[in-house]
Chains A and B, each alone.
Chain A
Amino acid sequence: MITNAIQVTGLHKAYGHIKALDGIDVTVQEGEIFGLLGANGAGKSTLINVLIGTLASDSGSAEVLGFDPRKQRRQLRPQVGYMPQHQALYEDLSARDNIRFFARAQPIDNLEQRLDEVIEFMGLTDRQHDPVYGYSGGMEQRVSLACALVHKPRLLFLDEPSTGVDPKLRESLWGHFRELVKQGVTIVVSTHQMDEALHCDRVCVMRNGEILACDSPRDLLARGKVEVTIWKDGQAQTQTVTNYAKELPQLLGVDSAISKIEIHEDTLEDVVLRLINKGKHHA
């Protein structure tokens, strides 16, 4: 039975005259990877901060794993992991000491064994005793993720986890995320990288505190279009087609005057940018 890990209804949060969240309604199912996609300032981090209880909303309701994230944060936090946008690590301590410190916030049996497991999972074994200030950005990201995972949370919040990370490490991180989902963890990840959204089960597109669309990447892509430009007699003619497999032969006919054909198929980025630039759509 699929249950909702997160249920948000009519959430509002303003900073002065800036509406960071403007009537957000969203649900996240248990066991899915849910993406929050949008430009800087869209409200992604604000939504995450409300859901982890560090920020109170102005109105509306939020339920995370059955708890009010603000009023019941003591009960909620043992079940939630959080990887912040900034590294939030003690750079003068080693990776192992950092992870141990954040682990000790919760009672964990066989703590040192658990540290060994999570350090190995994140590929940090060789340098676990070195101070973090000597790490590359990618290694720091891995330590940050390890700190979020060490107490085996049911729900994981990742705030732009692959910012500043090279493609190879990004792929490695997503491999870890998929492994966690197989173990039953629900993941909420915020990103402004369109190609990352393709890894998610569902993506929520945000702009100026509003949700523009909330759908699987495939269904979002299906909203896209294909433009076909045909050069004929030195002139270009562009047409938008929805099913070019069917329509293209008609367009082409049997016409020897056609010198060139160009097909542009919308990527997910094109669909999202069009949504953002057009304004609010009903999800």
Chain B
Amino acid sequence: MLNQTSAVTVRVLKQLSHDRRFVGLSLIVPVFVIYLLWIFFDAVERPFFNVETFVPPVAAFIVHFLTYVLCAIVLVRERSTHTLVRMFVSGYDRVSIIGGYLVAYSLLATLQSLIVLVMLNSLFELNYDMGTFVSMFVVIWLLAIISIALGIFVSNFARNEGQVFPFIPLVIMPSIFFSGMIMSVDLLPNWAAPLSYLTPMFYANEVIQSIISTGGNSMFMVGLIAYGGVILVLAIFTLRE
């Protein structure tokens, strides 16, 4: 299984290395969006959000959004070009296929998370100490990895690239409204509050708030990891030949 996983990883990395535009855009777009965010806050005299508690989760959301969208079409493309069937008939198993993609894209996610955090710290003059910086990186990186798994899980339900697009708002909109990023989850109606547990941004936001302020709850790190584990298992079991 390790040999198969490494074979998938090597192949995906080779393909990424041939697609420099894709890699470049994956790294430049979050930088550009963070910069736009900074311009907005710089232009607004009295920002309606506290920059220090609002901007870090938004940066995490940008990484979550991008990695999820990029990975949502990954296995769909394998299916539409029939290489997925060929992989299975050759002898590759589901765990190796998804594991290989996860490892390969996690390298990209690592770079994304690092670049976003450095931009954030520098542009907004947040002056994180090393401990805070490392803690923030771990959360954003973990969220990115989980977003990869989420994208792969969703792509199992689409037969072609066009069918992936409706799934994008289905995952991203709850991340915006139910994660506590814009308003506290406690202010949501009783029926909506449990929906927070279905989005990884909720757990990530809680942990980020616990790092940078007196709010949040660091125990939600366990929840974030558990969420990622569940999504990964679901992605593996829903991958069909």
Stretch at the interface among B12-20, B107-115, B155-163, B228-236: B12-20
- The answer to whether B11 and A88 touch across the interface, beta carbons within 8 angstroms, is no
Using CB atoms and an 8 Å cutoff, list the residues of chain B in contact with chain A. Answer: 3-4, 7, 10-11, 14-15, 18-19, 81-83, 85-93, 241
- The answer to whether A54 and B82 touch across the interface, beta carbons within 8 angstroms, is no
A104 to B10, CA, bound (A): 11
Stretch at the interface among A78-86, A178-186, A226-234: A78-86
Residue A77 is within 8 A (CB to CB) of chain B in the complex = yes
A147 to B82, CA, bound (A): 14
- The answer to whether A78 and B14 touch across the interface, beta carbons within 8 angstroms, is no
A84 to B88, CA, bound (A): 12
A78 to B82, CA, bound (A): 19
Stretch at the interface among A59-67, A89-97, A260-268: A89-97
**Chain A residues whose C-beta falls within 8 Å of the C-beta of B10 in the assembled complex:** 101
| Chain A 79-123 per-residue mask, 1 if CB under 8 angstroms from chain B, else 0 | 010101011111011000100011011110000000000000000
A74 to B93, CA, bound (A): 9
Look across to chain B and name the residue whose beta carbon is closest to the beta carbon of A84.
Answer: B82
Say how far A252's CB is from chain B's closest CB, in angstroms: 58
- The answer to whether A88 and B91 touch across the interface, beta carbons within 8 angstroms, is no
- The answer to whether B91 and A105 touch across the interface, beta carbons within 8 angstroms, is yes
- The answer to whether A77 and B83 touch across the interface, beta carbons within 8 angstroms, is no
Look across to chain B and name the residue whose beta carbon is closest to the beta carbon of A89.
Answer: B83
Compute the total of residue contacts between A and B using a CB distance below 8 Å. Answer: 63
The residue in B82, B87, B89 that gathers the most chain A C-beta atoms within 10 A of its C-beta is B89
Q: Which of A82, A87, A104 contacts B89 (CB 8 A)?
A: A82
Residue A6 is within 8 A (CB to CB) of chain B in the complex = no
A104 to B91, CA, bound (A): 9
- The answer to whether B18 and A92 touch across the interface, beta carbons within 8 angstroms, is yes
A155 to B31, CA, bound (A): 52
A93 to B11, CA, bound (A): 9
- The answer to whether B85 and A107 touch across the interface, beta carbons within 8 angstroms, is no
**Chain A residues whose C-beta falls within 8 Å of the C-beta of B92 in the assembled complex:** 105
**Chain B residues whose C-beta falls within 8 Å of the C-beta of A53 in the assembled complex:** 89, 241
- The answer to whether A88 and B85 touch across the interface, beta carbons within 8 angstroms, is yes
Q: Which of A54, A90, A97, A102 contacts B241 (CB 8 A)?
A: A54
A77 to B89, CA, bound (A): 6
Look across to chain A and name the residue whose beta carbon is closest to the beta carbon of B81.
Answer: A88
**Chain B residues whose C-beta falls within 8 Å of the C-beta of A86 in the assembled complex:** 81-82
**Chain A residues whose C-beta falls within 8 Å of the C-beta of B85 in the assembled complex:** 54, 84, 88
A sample of 23 cross-chain residue pairs with beta-carbon separation below 8 angstroms, ordered by A number, consists of A53-B89, A53-B241, A54-B88, A77-B89, A77-B90, A78-B91, A84-B85, A88-B82, A88-B85, A89-B83, A90-B11, A90-B83, A92-B15, A92-B19, A101-B7, A101-B10, A104-B3, A105-B4, A105-B90, A106-B90, A106-B91, A131-B18, A147-B90
A131 to B82, CA, bound (A): 18
Look across to chain A and name the residue whose beta carbon is closest to the beta carbon of B241.
Answer: A54
A82 to B19, CA, bound (A): 29
A99 to B241, CA, bound (A): 20
Residue A52 is within 8 A (CB to CB) of chain B in the complex = yes
Say whether, besides A78-B91, A86-B81, A93-B15, A104 and B86 are in contact (CB < 8 Å): no
Look across to chain B and name the residue whose beta carbon is closest to the beta carbon of A80.
Answer: B89
Q: Which of B11, B18, B86, B91 contacts A147 (CB 8 A)?
A: B86
Look across to chain B and name the residue whose beta carbon is closest to the beta carbon of A52.
Answer: B89
- The answer to whether B18 and A105 touch across the interface, beta carbons within 8 angstroms, is no
A74 to B7, CA, bound (A): 18
- The answer to whether B11 and A97 touch across the interface, beta carbons within 8 angstroms, is yes
**Chain B residues whose C-beta falls within 8 Å of the C-beta of A82 in the assembled complex:** 86, 89-90
Say whether, besides A92-B18, A93-B11, A105-B4, A54 and B81 are in contact (CB < 8 Å): no
- The answer to whether A88 and B15 touch across the interface, beta carbons within 8 angstroms, is no
A21 to B10, CA, bound (A): 39
**Chain A residues whose C-beta falls within 8 Å of the C-beta of B90 in the assembled complex:** 77, 82, 102, 105-106, 147, 151
- 12 more contacts with CB within 8 A, not counting A101-B11, A105-B4, are A54-B85, A54-B241, A77-B90, A78-B91, A84-B82, A84-B85, A87-B82, A89-B83, A97-B14, A102-B90, A105-B90, A106-B90
Say how far B6's CB is from chain A's closest CB, in angstroms: 8
- The answer to whether A104 and B7 touch across the interface, beta carbons within 8 angstroms, is yes
- The answer to whether A104 and B83 touch across the interface, beta carbons within 8 angstroms, is no
Say how far A148's CB is from chain B's closest CB, in angstroms: 9
A89 to B93, CA, bound (A): 18
A74 to B241, CA, bound (A): 13
Contacts of A160-182 to chain B: CB distance below 8 A: none
A185 to B163, CA, bound (A): 41
- The answer to whether A90 and B82 touch across the interface, beta carbons within 8 angstroms, is no
